[in-house]
């Protein structure tokens, strides 16, 4: 039995008594744990087990292995106390979700550009995209929209999508449902005010850096003060492409020339992104046209069917090309 992971449901718990289940040298497993190991871009916690610093925490399947400093005198069944650095955890959780919100807004409002990297550290988070031009062009829309979502203190559901493989997702009603095994806050308000910074990390590659603004009960969140709700709605809607004119994602617009310049890792991410996108279109089609309570006229249904056909064909074509390029660089 892999350890029961309490960090998912108790994101701010910093101390736990657990039993050792296996020992190999100075590496142990536990029957329950609050100590997160690096995954999905989120850095591991820092802390101690049985009073000794944890040097490394790593996943193997659904189990987490902890390597402890020194040669601990532990055997299976020994009860130990785990303590984690609560301030570090707090920042990791808030930055993680700030990155989730920003990423989702860029996806939803700017045609799903290809994400080529992400990392959540204690001082800042970053998300990298294939992006022509300056990604900071989106900040005027994304930052106030993110702060609106944070300001509304929306409930975040985090749960298993598959309990046996411990696959998880988070969901905000009316905003997004995203697969992720990281640790999430309970409401968006816990994130607090954020700031964004742009960095160019190579030709056609842009990074959004996300930081937490100082959190103090006395100060109103900086960004919220600048962007009152009315303003947020105005620019978000003014620049959001209308559903009808919304083209398929930027990933599907990558030219053959651009494809040939991508690295193996980038091609792999592109293939994954296109596969996900195809799934999204198919899910949207079945929800819209599959008779799940959405009533639209025959004419409208016909128009939407054509639109879905066109989107699917476009994604499939690009997926084929991307897979072919990936095969070429893999050989």
| Residue placing its CB nearer to Zn ion in the complex, 113 or 182 | 182
Give min distance, CB of 167 to Zn ion, in A.
12
Which residues in the 299-318 window bind Zn ion by CB under 5 A? Answer: none
Which residues in the 88-127 window bind Zn ion by CB under 5 A? Answer: 100
What's the distance, Cα to Cα, between the start and end of the chain in Å? 39
Give min distance, CB of 242 to Zn ion, in A.
29
With binding defined as CB under 5 A, does residue 11 bind Zn ion? no
H-helix or E-strand containing 118? strand 115-120
- Token pair for 180: 């992720």
| Residue placing its CB nearer to Zn ion in the complex, 95 or 254 | 95
Which residues lie below 8 Å from residue 159, measured CB to CB, with a gap of 6+? 168, 169, 171
| Residue placing its CB nearer to Zn ion in the complex, 182 or 192 | 182
H-helix or E-strand containing 50? none
218/46 Cα distance (integer angstroms): 30
With binding defined as CB under 5 A, does residue 182 bind Zn ion? yes
With binding defined as CB under 5 A, does residue 151 bind Zn ion? no
| Residue placing its CB nearer to Zn ion in the complex, 96 or 207 | 96
236 close to 217: Cβ distance less than 8 angstroms: no
Give min distance, CB of 179 to Zn ion, in A.
9
204/253 Cα distance (integer angstroms): 14
With binding defined as CB under 5 A, does residue 180 bind Zn ion? yes
Give min distance, CB of 43 to Zn ion, in A.
13
139/17 Cα distance (integer angstroms): 44
Q: Which residue's beta carbon is nearest to the bound Zn ion?
A: 180
Give min distance, CB of 210 to Zn ion, in A.
13
Number of neighbours of residue 174 by Cβ within 10 angstroms: 6
209 close to 199: Cβ distance less than 8 angstroms: yes
195/227 Cα distance (integer angstroms): 13
| Residue placing its CB nearer to Zn ion in the complex, 28 or 191 | 191
- Token pair for 227: 């962007």
Stretch that binds Zn ion, among 147-155, 180-188, 192-200, 244-252 (CB under 5 A): 180-188
Stretch that binds Zn ion, among 177-185, 207-215, 248-256, 270-278 (CB under 5 A): 177-185
Give min distance, CB of 162 to Zn ion, in A.
16
Size of the site for Zn ion (CB under 5 A): 3
Q: Is 20 helix (H, G, I), strand (E, B) or coil?
A: strand
Q: List residues binding Zn ion (CB under 5 A).
A: 100, 180, 182
């Amino acid at each position: 039995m892999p350890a029961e992971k309490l960090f998912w449901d108790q994101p701010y718990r910093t101390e736990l008594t657990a039993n050792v289940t296996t020992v190999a040298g100075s590496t142990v497993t536990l029957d329950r744990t609050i100590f997160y190991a690096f995954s999905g871009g989120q850095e591991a916690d820092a802390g101690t087990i049985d009073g000794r610093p944890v040097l490394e925490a790593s996943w193997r399947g659904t189990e987490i292995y902890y390597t402890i400093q020194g040669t601990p005198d532990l055997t299976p069944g020994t009860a130990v106390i785990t303590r984690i650095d609560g301030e570090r955890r707090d920042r990791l959780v808030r930055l993680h979700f700030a990155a989730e919100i920003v990423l989702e807004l860029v996806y939803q409002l700017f045609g799903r550009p290809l994400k080529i990297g992400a990392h959540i550290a204690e001082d800042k988070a970053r998300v990298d995209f294939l992006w022509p031009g300056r990604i900071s062009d989106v900040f005027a829309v994304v930052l106030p929209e993110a702060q609106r979502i944070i300001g509304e203190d929306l409930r975040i559901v985090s749960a298993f999508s598959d309990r046996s493989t411990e696959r998880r997702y988070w969901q905000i009603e009316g905003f997004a449902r995203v697969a992720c095994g990281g640790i999430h806050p309970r409401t968006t308000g816990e994130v607090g005010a954020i700031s964004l910074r742009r960095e160019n990390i190579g030709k056609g590659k842009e990074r959004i850096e996300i930081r937490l603004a100082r959190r103090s009960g006395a100060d109103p969140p900086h960004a919220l003060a600048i962007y009152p709700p009315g303003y947020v709605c105005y620019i978000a809607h003014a620049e959001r492409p209308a559903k009808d004119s919304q083209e398929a994602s930027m990933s599907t617009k990558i030219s053959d020339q651009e494809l040939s310049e991508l690295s193996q890792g980038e091609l792999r991410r592109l293939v994954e992104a296109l596969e996900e996108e195809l799934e999204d279109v198919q899910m949207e089609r079945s929800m819209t046209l599959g008779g799940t309570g959405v009533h639209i006229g025959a004419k409208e249904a016909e128009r939407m069917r054509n639109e879905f056909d066109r989107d699917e064909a476009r994604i499939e074509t690009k997926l084929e090309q991307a897979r072919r390029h990936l095969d070429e660089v893999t050989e």
